Amino acid sequence: MGKRRRARELAVQVLFHMEYNQGDPEEAFELVCTHFESPESVRPFSMDLVKGVVKHRAEIDSRIRKASRNWRLERMSRVDRSVLRLATYEIIFREDIPPKVSIDEAVELGKKFGTDESPAFINGILDNIYNTWVMEKGRPDEPQPE
């Protein structure tokens, strides 16, 4: 498993923990790292992701609400919500990560941590978020042929 995937797994675990224990993200991060014996090599990227989600959570949650037509954010499973927040942060705020990579990684996280329905649910919402974002920006993430 690649370092970035492991870092995303750690970030989802921290975000999930924060669903139950509001507080300092760095304390939550250290607690989860200790509990799951996370390698040092994945921690910097993972912590960047967690801090980004926390910093932009209001906009992230707003985008998830708009994209999940028939689901209230509060009714989603905490795992799915954590995965969606992470991937939405990557899609909207991380230009160094191709959005389609973020979506694929989120689907894999849903398979690992969520229910049988999680991968399709996550994929559908993130696809909607991505398409809306592309329309807002007026450009896709991949160059178009001339």
Would residue 145 count as lying in a domain? no
The model carries a pTM of 0.90
Domain assignment of residue 28, yes or no:
yes
What is the rounded distance in angstroms from the CA atom of residue 87 to the CA atom of residue 99? 8
Do 114 and 53 touch, CB atoms closer than 8 A? Answer: no
CATH number where 56 lies: 1.10.940.10
Query: What span, in angstroms and rounded, lies between the C-alpha atoms of 66 and 146?
Result: 33
Ramachandran angles phi, psi of 53, nearest 5°? -60, -45
Contact 51, 89 (CB under 8 A): no
Taking only the tens place, the pLDDT of each residue in 19-50 is: 888 778 888 898 898 888 888 999 999 999 99
Which tens digit of pLDDT belongs to each residue from 46-88?
Answer: 999 999 999 999 999 999 999 998 889 889 999 999 999 999 9
In this prediction, residue 141 carries a pLDDT of 52
The answer to whether residue 144 is domain-embedded is no
With a CB cutoff of 8 Å and minimum separation 6, the contacts of 59 are 92
Q: What is the pLDDT of residue 114?
A: 96
Cα–Cα dist 64/111, whole Å: 19
Residue 19, domain extent? 3-137
